[in-house]
């Protein structure tokens, strides 16, 4: 799925809605024979290299194909356990919640693509090539895969006297694969026909919209659920039924069809909004939606918290109102234009108060709800920033409004997260499989990215105290292996917490990942900061910008643009490092494939198939991320300017 | 003007602090009662899952008030620690449910305490986490194919219940290599024996080889699937681990045309597996122990999930009547309902049913093994219910 979208995105750099695509002039393509001679056999050494490489690639492909299509493989193990791999032991009765989650993500994705995507479409030339390449790949696979085995009526593999399997003859095997011959030849034929039918010029100018390609190919995948016999794996009244050679269960194909419709529908919605004047405010809302989505999905939709409403009325709501109104009044005063240095002092005072609450907690002087302490932190942060928002009445009102919204979100999520879940699931970490991998990645990046930028700025700061603190942090975290940090946060941190304070394993894991990732991100961003030339700083100073303005408007945008390649590398690294959760007791993709499925009686010891599938899942997601980053780099002109 | 501003701001901030702390106090008072802890817990706001430890609960001294039994009854579910990845003992099924021998004992305890065998929250634990989870009270009972040993029992914070499965380390080899079920460790002289690294099985087999006066080549691998791959490919002449594991592997992975044999008949180690629970809570210990005993007595007396209700109505003898709650107050004295064990047998089954349901499919039989009843020459023996 992501792979296809990635491929389609490749050639697209411009907007197919607002602007006409600006196409680079293409070099006239050589005839195939000429191209091969020029690129593959243009000398003795190169010819040898070509032959050798093709030979090695064929051997590797043959090995992989024989492995995948071997009669010994039990692909029903990962197929039957697809649900376990994706969501671990999420209860069957509550599975609608998972679909709501997927639907929500489909809405966000579709609308975002509709609003932001800038696609030039794929040229007909490329499509012809793809079709021919795909056809050739299919034909090659048919020839390279070893002949199948003879089976008896019950599907058991027949063996000879030495209990070796009996393989079919090569010609029988080839004729068995007739359908695939036809499919492969059809792709090549279609490509060639289109190639000849379109003239040289039109081949380049005719472009198929990328949206059509992406949603079309996704649609084909969804359609195939209804037609192709992938195997039927269903839960009926808690009884698990697995039948191979049937179309997938209705409970699977119906929701996926619905999800596809939602995705396409919200894409067109996004396109419509894009044409209106409200586009920019909808973009803001979408950004907020993406930011909040991990929290809403994880703690509200998937956990279904049992909120104690009497407690909400008696404590939570009054507490929130007290904070919102009291804090609002403080911020209103602090953003008064004439307050000057006194405002900064008061801001620092608020920070001291906030820190004091935590000191008191660790010393056990007086008890207090954790969210009250966190509210003080939030108030202190806004208090420090207040002087930047002083000015017009309306601006101050907006500033206080931001505080209201932030405080409301903080209090709401604090209440929700501390309410017990009503959905029963195995393991303390609440969920597992791909879900936990994605949530840990998303939350880690959300926390570590701002922290990393702050650390990078601190390390390049001219104030020694910030520089020393940042450098110490970065160097000490980078000097410790990630697994050590994870062990520390999951096993040792709870011992340091004061009586009555408790941290869930999941939160501890995310904290560990975030602090680790931030140190590396900081170094990546610092690389970008160092690439900014002196002149940029001087120009900003000449314009009379203050140093925060210079940093946020001149330096950081350029630095972040430069550091996109290493930042994406860090994102991919974080995503893959989540497999370490398996070692500290979580049920992530790796542990499910490696330990849980091989421990099922019917799939005892079946491990390689699961691991191959898990590896493929990691690859697809990682590839999608790097494709996206390549696109981003091209759009922002990294490496060109 | 400016000065007045600072003071006003500071005054507001301070009064605000006081107000908030006062409200905070409010919340904390409520947390003193364990049942509402979860809603108002002083947990960090990033707390992901419902935490079950109660406020200020010193993990080691768990005896207070109602103890674990009362906690479980108040909570309405039993937190049961299992492996989640142990063949036939606790498997996570494709639909996310947990099945197996250990899982069924969790269900039996839930049926006894809460009257509902489905009121179990399975907590999947790694081998490294399991004892901490018992000590901190994260799980009420741990049934995770855990061998009872002296050092574990005397370790702070844990007690062992009665053995539910008598396991022991054995060896598996090919018949074609000259082994049969009557083989002994001594017959392994010069063989390549494989097992997984860093476990007691490694030590047991080398001790046994020393005792038999033979030399073996011991090869270890990181996990047991790789051990089996090497056995199948012929790189290992023999493999060794607990008997229950070997039988399962033989049933599922025996290569066509080969015959794998498991020996010696008397295992080279004792691995009694049973439930583990927090220390010094004898009320809870009684509940767990007698739930296990009830399944064993029911097996002895022929009470099954099918006939339990009839047996309770017309008990064939006095002990069955007492066990199923017809007569006397013995369950009530334990803090359970009178029909607690009737629920266990009716909803989960007796020992034989639990055994056959879970261990039958991997080829383990009770007959002739240590897990047969004492009347059939096995070790399973429960004190009388009276």
A238 pLDDT band, cuts 50/70/90, is: low
**What is the rounded average pLDDT for all residues in chain B?**
81
Percent with pLDDT over 90 in chain A: 36
Cα–Cα dist B366/B386, whole Å: 27
pLDDT (tens digit per residue) in A42-57: 888 989 999 999 999 9
Binned at pLDDT 50, 70 and 90, residue B24 comes out as: very low
Pairing of strands B165-167, B260-263: unpaired
Buried b (16+ CB within 10 A) or exposed e, B303-336: bbbeebeebbeebeeebbbbbbbbeeebbeebbb
- C-alpha separations of B78 from A145, A625, B81, B88, B139 in Å: 52, 42, 10, 21, 8
A408 touching chain B per CB within 8 A = no
Tell me what the pLDDT averaged over chain A comes to.
Answer: 85
* Distance set, CA A231 to CA A82, A243, A249, B159, B293 (Å): 12, 6, 8, 47, 44
Provide the pLDDT for residue B15.
54
How many angstroms away from the CA of A547 is the closest CA of chain B? 25
Q: Which helix (H) or strand (E) holds B95?
A: none
Q: Is the pLDDT of residue B211 over 50?
A: yes
Whether residue A369 and residue B1 make contact (CB cut-off 8 A), yes or no, is no
Region B131-158 average pLDDT: 86
Distance CA B160, CA B141 (A): 10
CATH superfamily entry for domain B67-166+272-376: Periplasmic binding protein-like II (3.40.190.10)
**Triad A595, B277, A426: Cα angle to 5°:** 35
Interface A–B counts its CB contacts (< 8 A) at 262
pLDDT value, residue B285 = 94
Question: Taking a C-beta distance cutoff of 8 angstroms, is the pair A142, A183 a contact?
Answer: no
Residue of higher predicted confidence among A243 and A639: A243
Q: How far is A368 from chain B, CA to nearest CA, in Å?
A: 4
Q: Kindly provide the residue ranges of all beta strands, DSSP E only, lying in A172-245, ordered along the sequence.
A: 207-208, 232-236, 239-243
> What is the spatial distance between Cα A360 and Cα A355, in angstroms, rounded to a whole number?
9
Whether the predicted interface score ipTM is above 0.85: no
Distance from CA of B347 to the nearest CA of A (A): 16
Structural tokens at position A400: 């206080």
Question: Cα separations (Å) of A535 from A457, A547, A554, A639?
Answer: 18, 15, 11, 20
Dmax over CA atoms of chain B, in Å, equals 101
Q: Beta B271-273 vs B165-167: how paired, if at all? A: antiparallel
Structure tokens at A453: 């930028």
Residues of B in contact with A342 (CB under 8 A): 2-3, 5-6, 9
Residue B48: band (very low, low, confident or very high) from pLDDT cuts 50, 70, 90? very low
Q: Within the 469-508 window of chain A, which residues sit less than 8 Å (CB to CB) from chain B? A: 499-507
Looking at the predicted structure, is the pLDDT value of residue B30 above 70?
no
Could you tell me the two tokens for B157?
Answer: 């914070």
Write the residue in B20, B44, B93 that is nearest to A370 by C-beta.
Answer: B44
CA separation for the pair B35, B37 (Å, rounded): 6
Kindly give the residue spans of alpha helices, DSSP state H, lying in B55-196: 67-75, 101-114, 130-135, 150-154
- Which whole number is the average pLDDT over B212-220? 91
Decide: A36 and A47 in contact? Cβ < 8 Å: no
Give the closest-approach CA distance of B329 to chain A in angstroms. Answer: 34
Find the mean pLDDT for residues A552-558.
Answer: 90
List pLDDT tens digits, range A589-614: 888 998 889 888 888 888 889 999 99
In the predicted model, what is the mean pLDDT of residues A437-462?
92
**Lowest mean pLDDT, pick from A263-277, A522-536, B129-143:** B129-143
Tell me the average pLDDT across B369-384: 91
Phi, psi dihedrals of residue A529, rounded to the nearest 5°:
-60, -40
Chain B contact set for A605 (CB, 8 A): 225, 228, 249, 252-253
A247-256 pLDDT, tens digit each:
888 888 899 9
Inform me whether the pLDDT recorded for A427 exceeds 60: no
CB B279 within 8 A of CB B156: yes
Domain range summary for chain B, segments of one domain joined by +? 67-166+272-376, 169-269
pLDDT in tens, B71-87: 999 988 899 999 888 88
Put residue B173 in one of left, alpha, beta given phi > 0 → left and psi -120 to 50 → alpha: beta
Phi, psi for A354 (deg, rounded to 5): -65, -45
Chain A hits for B23, Cβ within 8 Å: 315, 318-319, 322, 369, 372
pLDDT for res B151: 87
Predicted local confidence at residue A321, as pLDDT: 92
**Which residue is closest to B118 within chain A, CA to CA?**
A424
Q: Find the mean pLDDT for residues B21-29.
A: 38
Q: Which of A123-132, A422-431, A478-487 has the lowest mean pLDDT?
A: A422-431
Residues of chain A contacting B138 with CB distance shorter than 8 Å: 428
Helices B67-75, B282-301: inter-axial angle, 10-degree rounding: 80
**Parallel, antiparallel, or unpaired for β B276-278 and B158-160?**
antiparallel
Cβ-defined contact of B12 to A326 (cutoff 8 Å): yes
- Which residues 6+ apart lie within 8 Å of A501 measured at CB? A361, A370, B42, B43, B44
Beta strands in chain B (DSSP E): 78-82, 85-86, 90-92, 98-99, 120-124, 141-142, 158-160, 165-167, 169-174, 192-196, 217-221, 238-242, 260-263, 271-273, 276-278
Average pLDDT over residues A497-510: 77
- Measure the CA–CA gap between B125 and B53, rounded to whole angstroms: 16
Determine, for residues A311 and B44 on separate chains, whether the beta-carbon distance falls below 8 Å.
Answer: no
Contacts of B249 in chain A (CB under 8 A): 604-605
Across the interface, whether the CB atoms of A504 and B41 are under 8 A apart is answered: no
Residue with the larger pLDDT of the pair B347 and A382: B347
> Are B92 and A366 inside 8 Å of each other by CB?
no
**Range with top average pLDDT, A498-507, B131-140, B236-245:** B236-245
Distance in angstroms (rounded) separating the CA atoms of residues A535 and A61:
53
Instruction: Give the model's pLDDT for residue A571.
Output: 92
**Residue B42 reports pLDDT greater than 90:** no
CA torsion through residues A305, A311, A313, A317, sign: negative
Look at residue A426 and tell me whether its pLDDT is greater than 60: no
Compute the C-alpha angle A288/A289/A295, nearest 5°.
Answer: 105
Q: Which residue of B has its CA nearest to A342?
A: B6
Q: What token pair was written down for A488?
A: 């520390």
Q: For residue range A76-101, list pLDDT tens digits in order.
A: 889 888 888 988 878 778 888 999 99
DSSP conformation letters of A3-27: HHHHHHHTT--S-SSSS---PPPPP
Task: Say yes or no to pLDDT of A472 above 90.
Answer: yes
Mean per-residue pLDDT, A244-264? 89
Nearest residue of B to residue A321, measured between CA atoms: B20
Please name which of B57, B122, B50, B68 lies closest in space to residue B93, comparing C-alpha atoms. B122
Which of B250, B19, B127 is CA-nearest to residue A584? B127
Structure tokens, B298: 């029911």
Nearest C-alpha of chain A: how many angstroms from B133? 11
- A contacts of B125 (beta carbons < 8 Å): 585
Average pLDDT over residues A359-384: 84
pLDDT score at B7: 60
Same fold, B67-166+272-376 and B169-269: yes
Q: Which residue has the higher pLDDT, A389 or B171?
A: B171
CA dist A49 and A33 (Å) reads 18
Pick from B24, B40, B128: which is nearest to A311 by CB?
B40
In terms of DSSP bridges, do strands A239-243 and B120-124 run parallel, antiparallel, or are they unpaired?
unpaired
Judged by CB atoms closer than 8 Å, whether chains meet at B39 and A349 is answered as no
Percent of chain B clearing pLDDT 90 (strictly above): 34
pLDDT higher than threshold 50 for residue B35: no
Helix (H, G, I), strand (E, B) or coil at A267: helix
> Phi and psi (nearest 5°) for A584?
-100, 20
Are B266 and B166 in contact by the 8 Å Cβ rule? The answer is: no
Nearest to A600 among B21, B91, B257 (CB): B91
**A97 contacts: CB under 8 Å, gap ≥ 6:** A90, A301, A302, A304, A423
- Name every chain A residue with its beta carbon within 8 A of the beta carbon of B21: 366, 368, 372
DSSP label at A148? Answer: -
Q: Which comes out higher in pLDDT, residue A593 or B52?
A: A593
Rounded Cα distance, A589 and A437, in Å: 7
Instruction: Name which of B357, B162, B379, B131 is nearest B273 in CA terms.
Output: B162
Contact A6, A623 (CB under 8 A): yes
What CA–CA distance (Å, rounded) separates A516 from A560? 19
> Of B198, B172, B160, whose CA–CA distance to B292 is shortest?
B160
Residue A303, both tokens: 């956990």
Residue whose C-alpha is closest to residue A555's, from A570, A576, A538: A538
What are chain A's domains? 2-151+168-275 (no CATH), 308-415 (no CATH), 425-641 (1.10.3720.10)
If DSSP codes are grouped into helix, strand and coil, which group holds residue B239?
Answer: strand
Is a pLDDT exceeding 60 seen at residue B180?
A: yes
Q: CB count, 10 Å around CB of A521?
A: 27
Measured between CA atoms, how close is B35 to chain A, in angstroms?
Answer: 11
CATH of domain B169-269: 3.40.190.10
pLDDT band at A216 (very low <50, low <70, confident <90, very high): very high
């Amino acid at each position: 799925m992501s792979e296809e979208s990635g491929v389609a995105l490749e050639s697209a750099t411009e907007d197919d809605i607002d602007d006409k695509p600006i196409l680079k002039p293409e070099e006239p393509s050589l005839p195939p024979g000429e191209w091969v001679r020029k690129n593959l056999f243009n000398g003795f050494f190169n010819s040898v290299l070509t032959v050798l490489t093709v030979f090695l690639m064929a051997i590797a492909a043959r090995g992989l194909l024989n492995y995948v299509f071997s009669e010994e493989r039990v692909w029903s193990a990962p197929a039957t356990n697809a649900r376990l791999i994706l969501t671990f032991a999420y209860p069957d009765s509550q599975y609608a919640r998972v679909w709501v989650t997927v639907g929500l993500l489909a809405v966000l994705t579709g609308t975002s693509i509709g609003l932001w995507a800038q696609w030039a479409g794929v040229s007909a030339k490329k499509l012809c090539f793809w079709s021919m390449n795909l056809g050739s790949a299919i034909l090659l696979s048919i020839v390279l895969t070893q002949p199948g085995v003879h089976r008896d009526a019950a599907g058991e593999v027949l063996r000879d006297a030495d209990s070796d399997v009996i393989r079919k003859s090569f010609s029988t095997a080839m004729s068995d694969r007739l359908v695939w011959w036809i499919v492969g030849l059809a792709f090549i034929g279609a490509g060639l026909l289109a190639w000849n039918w379109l003239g040289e010029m039109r081949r380049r100018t005719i472009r198929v919209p990328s949206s059509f390609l992406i949603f079309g190919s996704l649609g084909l995948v969804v359609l195939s659920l209804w037609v192709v016999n992938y195997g039927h794996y269903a839960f009926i009244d808690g009884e698990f039924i697995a039948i191979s050679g049937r179309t997938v269960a209705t409970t699977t194909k119906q929701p996926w069809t619905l999800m596809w419709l939602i995705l396409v529908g919200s894409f067109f919605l996004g396109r419509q909004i894009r044409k209106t004047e409200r586009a920019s405010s909808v973009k803001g809302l979408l950004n907020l939606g993406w930011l909040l989505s991990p929290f809403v999905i994880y703690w509200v939709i998937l956990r279904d918290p049992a909120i104690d409403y009497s407690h909400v009325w008696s404590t939570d709501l009054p507490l929130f109102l007290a904070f919102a109104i009291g804090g609002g009044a403080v911020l209103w005063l602090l953003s008064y234009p004439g307050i000057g240095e006194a405002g900064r002092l008061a801001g620092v005072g608020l920070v001291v108060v906030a820190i004091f609450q935590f000191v008191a907690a660790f010393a056990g002087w007086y008890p207090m709800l954790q969210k009250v302490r966190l509210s003080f932190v939030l108030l202190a942060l806004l208090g420090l920033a207040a002087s930047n928002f002083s000015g017009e009445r309306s601006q101050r009102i907006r500033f206080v409004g931001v505080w209201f919204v932030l405080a409301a979100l903080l209090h709401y999520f604090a209440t929700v997260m501390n309410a017990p879940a009503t959905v029963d699931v195995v393991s303390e970490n609440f969920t597992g499989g791909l879900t936990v991998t994605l949530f840990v990645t998303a939350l880690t990046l959300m926390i570590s990215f701002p922290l990393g930028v702050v650390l990078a700025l601190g390390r390049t700061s001219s104030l020694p105290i910030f520089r020393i603190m940042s450098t110490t942090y970065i160097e000490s975290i980078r000097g410790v292996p990630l697994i050590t940090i994870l062990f520390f946060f999951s096993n040792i941190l709870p011992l340091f917490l004061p009586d009555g304070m408790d941290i869930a394993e999941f939160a501890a894991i995310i904290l560990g990942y975030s602090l680790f990732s931030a140190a590396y991100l900081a170094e990546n961003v610092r690389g970008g900061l160092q690439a900014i030339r002196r002149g940029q700083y001087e120009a900003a100073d000449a314009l009379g910008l203050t140093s925060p303005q210079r940093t946020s408007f001149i330096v950081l945008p350029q630095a972040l643009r430069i550091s996109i390649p290493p930042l994406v590398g860090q994102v991919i690294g974080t995503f893959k490092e989540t497999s370490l959760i398996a070692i500290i007791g979580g049920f992530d993709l790796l542990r499910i494939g490696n330990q849980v499925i091989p421990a099922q009686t019917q799939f005892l010891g079946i491990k390689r198939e699961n691991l191959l599938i898990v590896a493929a899942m990691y690859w697809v997601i990682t590839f999608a991320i790097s494709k996206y980053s390549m696109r981003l780099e091209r759009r922002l002109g990294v490496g060109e300017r | 003007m400016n000065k007045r501003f600072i003071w006003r701001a500071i005054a507001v901030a301070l009064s605000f602090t006081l107000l908030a702390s006062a409200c905070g106090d409010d919340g904390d008072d409520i947390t003193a009662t364990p049942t509402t802890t979860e809603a108002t817990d002083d947990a960090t706001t990033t707390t992901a899952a419902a935490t079950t430890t109660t406020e200020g609960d010193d993990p080691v001294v768990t005896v207070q008030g109602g103890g674990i039994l009362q906690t479980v009854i108040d909570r309405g579910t039993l937190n049961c620690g299992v492996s989640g990845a142990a063949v036939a003992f606790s498997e996570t099924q494709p639909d996310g449910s947990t099945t197996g021998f250990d899982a069924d004992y969790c269900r039996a305890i839930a049926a006894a305490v809460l009257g509902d065998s489905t009121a179990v929250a399975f907590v999947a634990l790694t081998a490294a986490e399991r004892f901490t989870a018992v000590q901190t009270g994260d799980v009420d009972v741990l049934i995770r194919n855990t061998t009872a040993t002296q050092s574990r029992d005397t370790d702070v914070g844990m007690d062992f219940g009665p053995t539910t499965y008598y396991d022991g380390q054995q060896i598996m080899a090919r018949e074609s290599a000259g082994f049969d079920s009557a083989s002994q460790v001594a017959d392994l002289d010069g063989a390549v024996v494989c097992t997984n690294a860093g476990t007691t099985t490694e030590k047991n087999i080398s001790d046994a080889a020393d005792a038999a006066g033979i030399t073996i080549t011991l090869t270890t691998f990181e996990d047991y699937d790789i051990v089996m791959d090497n056995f199948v490919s012929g790189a290992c002449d023999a493999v060794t681990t607990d008997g229950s594991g070997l039988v399962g592997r033989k049933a599922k992975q025996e290569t066509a045309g080969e015959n794998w044999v498991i020996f010696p008949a008397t295992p080279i180690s004792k691995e009694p597996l049973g439930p583990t629970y927090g220390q010094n809570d004898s009320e809870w210990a009684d509940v767990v122990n007698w739930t296990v005993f009830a399944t064993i007595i029911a097996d002895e007396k022929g009470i099954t999930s099918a006939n339990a209700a009839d047996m309770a109505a017309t008990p064939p003898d006095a002990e069955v009547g007492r066990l199923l709650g017809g007569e006397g107050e013995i369950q009530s004295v334990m803090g359970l309902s009178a029909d607690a064990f009737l629920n266990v047998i009716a909803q989960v089954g007796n020992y034989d049913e639990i055994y056959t349901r879970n261990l039958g499919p991997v080829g383990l039989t009770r007959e002739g093994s240590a897990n047969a009843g004492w009347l059939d020459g096995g070790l399973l023996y429960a004190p009388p219910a009276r």
